[in-house]
Structure 1
Amino acid sequence: MTVSALALAGCSSGAPSSPGASSGPASSSEGSPSGSGSATSGVHVSGAPAPLAALVSTLYAGGDLTHTSSPTAAKALTTRKAATGSVDATAKVGSWMGTPVAVVTAGDDVTLAVGPTWKVVGGWWPSLGVPTPSLGGGPRWVLAIGSDARKGQPLERTRADVLQVIGVDGKGGGGVMGMARDLWVPLSTGGKGKINSAMVFGGPRAQVSTVRSVTGLPLEGYVVLGFSGFKKIVDAEGGVPIVIPKTVVASHAKNLVIKAGAQTLSGAEALAYARERKTLPDGDFGRSRHQGEVILAAAIKAKLAGPIAIPSALTSFSKVGKSNLSAEQILTFTAGLHQLSPLKVGRGVAQGAFGWAGQQSIVVLGNQARSLFAEFRDGNLS
């Protein structure tokens, strides 16, 4: 549910007040930005603070970005052509865990930037003759964790109610892989236990290390969100449109009925659908499958809103969630989701046989799960 909330928040159309945001109606990059090469008076950026507007001007003027771009972005932009004619761009500024972030659009171009000393960290620029997007390469994977924390409990020291690995291959494909929470595995904190208990003993980093070891996938990091934060984000953005394959009665939510068919789920309904397992014929496996469905549905809605909505999403998530991903990592990864082709995104659930460890009912990893891990090593499950 974590990444689905982050994706859904990306549908927000407003620009939040945040560090580095423009205080005026618009900013123009006319003039020469200090240390960034020559600017052109033909580039106009609305909604950007002056330093960001100057950076965008330098980008389109063909100026030097050696010290104002990440290594990967700089490499991609090496052969760019200077813009001809005027350029009208729009910036949206937000923040990720206190760090300013921005997305600037100009026609089909998208520029991703991180502050407070603004630098270009990625994007795509067809108007400048740049052939491929610069989004941190691929394949890449991030672990989405839904915390079981109740009111008054620490978000990062309770069991992981949701474990979903989100992957992109850097070529327009990707996948969502659920991990059944009862999988009995070696824990990064020592000994064996249910996979979702790693966060109790060692926090999200231990949870990432455990999933990384079990799957063999080099996860970059995590995003973690609790129940209340998930509901707040979903409701604030008007719900998540989804097609429910089969009616579900959420036994844990006072038998809330989620009917089959196309509908828009509220925060409470989306949470109930993502958490129900007792009434499902395949129990926890079905629940993990539902979580993947919610994530993909929210990602589709966010994709339709466009990359310009990403800063609002990151700002909204930062108020209620936690992550160890840097602003550059999350900005390029989230923007990469907008480059995915729906026909090249698959999903799966790591399953296994049921067993016992003492008096605990567990799931034992088998060939199905190992095959799924191997399939996902290219970042694509389609």
Structure 2
Amino acid sequence: MIKKLLVAGTAVGVLAALWPVLGPLGGTVASPIVVGRVHRDFHPRDGKLFFLVIGNDARAGNPDASRADAIHIVGVNTVTKRGGILNFPRDSWVSIPGSGQGRINEALYRGGPGLLASTLESITGIRLDYWIMTGFEGFQGIVQGLDGVEMAVQKDLYDPTGSGAQIDAGYQNLGPKDSLAYVRTRHNFPNGDVDRTTNQGRFLLAMLKKLRREVTRSPAALLRWITIGRRYTRLDISPKETFRLAVLATQVSARDMGNETVPVTVGSVGAASVVFISPGAQSIYSRFRSTAAL
């Protein structure tokens, strides 16, 4: 085990030294993965880290006119090595700081990742540390670089006019097209967007499971993951932070990460169909704040 850790540390150290001279390792994409800090005064607390993970609906050629298609808070306790994913349906009707009320996904359009982070902080009382955002092309690029993501699909999915999903049930390796269809489809599930956002959390856990499995077999595999990420990522954080977070990801098992979606009720505002976050979510927020785990 010690030998494996030394190999991993050496591999990451080599890549860290090369980072400044590595430009983009391949073609560019219209919607890359972007990583940044939520607050300038970054002070991790008691071994707890919270990430806002955003999937936007930007199309090629118009990357700024986007709303959030996927909204998740990922917590990791660096001491216990446990964590959780808290999912928010995109049509949740909320108060957006300084911008009135609206669907939560509109916060991204109105004020970028910073406003979406502020909105979630005001709702949950959780101080977020990092935000990570990607679009359709960046998401598919990462899946392509990883040679697909293995996961158990709960049921046959057929949604040719919506997400484009045509996926058989069962454990299988999802390529870029099927992965995007899986995290976007809602018409095949009884609870629509609520089930979809839960499935997005399941997909994140499948990626974590693959990372941990590959690095356990060969610690040097972390190099491949970081290199693939480098190809599609624009970082607003330092290389040192990047490597620290990458190593942390290998130390957390998907089995120790809960995946919960905030409870909601269906309703409407005017002619708009929305969901309202139920009061019962407060107990989830409290538990998540105190432990960074679900």
TM-score, normalization: structure 1?
Answer: 0.62
* Alpha-carbon distance in 2 for matches of 1:324, 1:191: 29
Q: 1:345 aligns with which of 257, 260, 275?
A: 257
* Alpha-carbon distance in 2 for matches of 1:327, 1:148: 28
Shift of 1:311: 4.5
Which position in structure 2 is the counterpart of 1:168?
A: 76
Q: Which structure carries more helix by proportion?
A: 2
* Alpha-carbon distance in 2 for matches of 1:243, 1:216: 33
Is 1:357 aligned to 2:277, yes or no? Answer: no
> Which amino acid letter does the alignment assign opposite residue 195 of structure 1?
I
Is 1:379 aligned to 2:292, yes or no? Answer: yes
Which position in structure 2 is the counterpart of 1:293?
A: 202
* Alpha-carbon distance in 1 for matches of 2:194, 2:68: 15
Which secondary structure does the structure 2 equivalent of 1:376 belong to? Answer: helix
Which position in structure 2 is the counterpart of 1:303?
A: 212
Q: 2:225 aligns with which of 313, 320, 338?
A: 313
RMSD: 2.8
* Alpha-carbon distance in 2 for matches of 1:327, 1:140: 18
Which secondary structure does the structure 1 equivalent of 2:266 belong to? Answer: strand
Contact kept, 8 Å, 1:351 with 1:363, in 2: the verdict is: no
**Rg (Cα) greater in structure:** 1
The 3 A distance-change label for structure 1 pair 168 and 279 is same
Contact kept, 8 Å, 2:8 with 2:220, in 1: the verdict is: no
Which position in structure 2 is the counterpart of 1:199?
A: 108
* Alpha-carbon distance in 1 for matches of 2:279, 2:254: 28
Is 1:143 aligned to 2:63, yes or no? Answer: no
Contact kept, 8 Å, 2:52 with 2:132, in 1: the verdict is: yes
Contact kept, 8 Å, 1:187 with 1:193, in 2: the verdict is: yes
* Alpha-carbon distance in 1 for matches of 2:103, 2:230: 28
Worse overlay, 162-171 or 248-257 = 248-257
Deviations 1:303-362 (A, max 9, x none): 112254445434433443445444343432332222224442211011311111221111
Which position in structure 1 is the counterpart of 2:3?
A: none
The count of corresponding residues between Structure 1 and Structure 2 is 261
The 3 A distance-change label for structure 1 pair 329 and 261 is same
Structure having greater relative contact order (Cα 8 Å, sep ≥ 6):
2
Instruction: Tell me the percent identity.
Output: 32
Which position in structure 1 is the counterpart of 2:28?
A: none
* Alpha-carbon distance in 1 for matches of 2:55, 2:287: 24
The 3 A distance-change label for structure 1 pair 326 and 183 is farther
> Which amino acid letter does the alignment assign opposite residue 180 of structure 1?
P
Which secondary structure does the structure 2 equivalent of 1:158 belong to? Answer: coil
> Which amino acid letter does the alignment assign opposite residue 367 of structure 1?
P
* Alpha-carbon distance in 2 for matches of 1:172, 1:272: 31
Which secondary structure does the structure 2 equivalent of 1:219 belong to? Answer: coil
> Which amino acid letter does the alignment assign opposite residue 126 of structure 2?
L
Which secondary structure does the structure 1 equivalent of 2:105 belong to? Answer: helix
Which position in structure 2 is the counterpart of 1:369?
A: 281
The 3 A distance-change label for structure 1 pair 88 and 213 is closer
Contact kept, 8 Å, 1:179 with 1:349, in 2: the verdict is: yes
Which position in structure 1 is the counterpart of 2:171?
A: 262
Which secondary structure does the structure 1 equivalent of 2:280 belong to? Answer: helix
Which position in structure 1 is the counterpart of 2:30?
A: none
Any unmatched runs of 5+ in structure 1?
1-59, 61-86, 102-134
> Which amino acid letter does the alignment assign opposite residue 370 of structure 1?
Q
Is 1:333 aligned to 2:241, yes or no? Answer: no
> Which amino acid letter does the alignment assign opposite residue 167 of structure 1?
G
